[in-house]
Chain A
Amino acid sequence: DGGITQSPKYLFRKEGQNVTLSCEQNLNHDAMYWYRQDPGQGLRLIYYSQIVNDFQKGDIAEGYSVSREKKESFPLTVTSAQKNPTAFYLCASRWRPGVGEQYFGPGTRLTVT
């Protein structure tokens, strides 16, 4: 089955720790995206990548980092510099930048205390 997987589904961390969220897709999509969603809010773009070994900051990149070493994988690291990291994180992919709809993974709910 083709799709996007995110792991883990729930993640708990202490303040001051970096944490990495996994996102893998087997759709052969070039473009991948990370969004953050806070309760009752819309989606805010953190980072996106249109091709392997390239990525751009989105609207709220501070305190986050990404890498895109393989087409299938786009991990997101939430660093200790991110002031309010508790949120629902969604990964998405798209066949080509600007072509077709985005498909979303199931999400990771991160809680930092």
Chain B
Amino acid sequence: ELKVEQNPLFLSMQEGKNYTIYCNYSTTSDRLYWYRQDPGKSLESLFVLLSNGAVKQEGRLMASLDTKARLSTLHITAAVHDLSATYFCAVDMNAGGTSYGKLTFGQGTILTVHP
């Protein structure tokens, strides 16, 4: 069974600081996704990482994937209040290049950015 674990689960940051959210998963996969959820809202896609070593950046967020370590990171640079949200990683379990067709989500990291 695929397990996806995020840490930390709660992150309180000051504006202007940097921090990293980690996403570990337990079985082979080379497809990982990051989503953002604002309170009471649905999930919005942030990054799609489809190969080992993939790195994507958008504004103050940068995501990377290390398939050998089964680890993805979401790095926040110079945090601002607007980044306050819950961030989820999700992994597409596959074997031999064939996907099982469903994503397994981490527990989510609740990020709060303070002035």
- Residues of A at the B interface (CB closer than 8 Å) are 31, 33, 40-43, 45, 48, 50, 58, 90, 92, 97-107
Contact = CB atoms under 8 A, between A and B. Distances in A.
Q: Is the interface of B mostly helix, strand, loop or mixed?
A: strand
A104 to B, nearest CB: 5
Contacts of A106: 41-42
Contacts, number: 52
26 contacts: A31-B101, A33-B102, A42-B105, A42-B108, A43-B88, A45-B102, A48-B102, A50-B101, A58-B102, A90-B42, A90-B43, A97-B99, A97-B100, A98-B31, A98-B92, A98-B99, A98-B100, A99-B99, A101-B45, A102-B45, A102-B90, A103-B45, A104-B35, A104-B42, A105-B42, A107-B42
In this complex, the interface size class of chain B, counting residues with CB under 8 Å from chain A, is 20 to 34
B107 A41 contact: yes
Contacts of B42: 90, 104-107
B43 A104 contact: yes
Contact of B107 (A42, A99, A105): A42
| The 5 residue pairs across chains A and B that have the minimum distance between CB atoms | A98-B99, A97-B101, A104-B43, A42-B107, A104-B42
Contacts of A107: 41-42
Given A42-B108, A104-B44, 4 more contacts: A42-B107, A97-B99, A98-B31, A102-B90
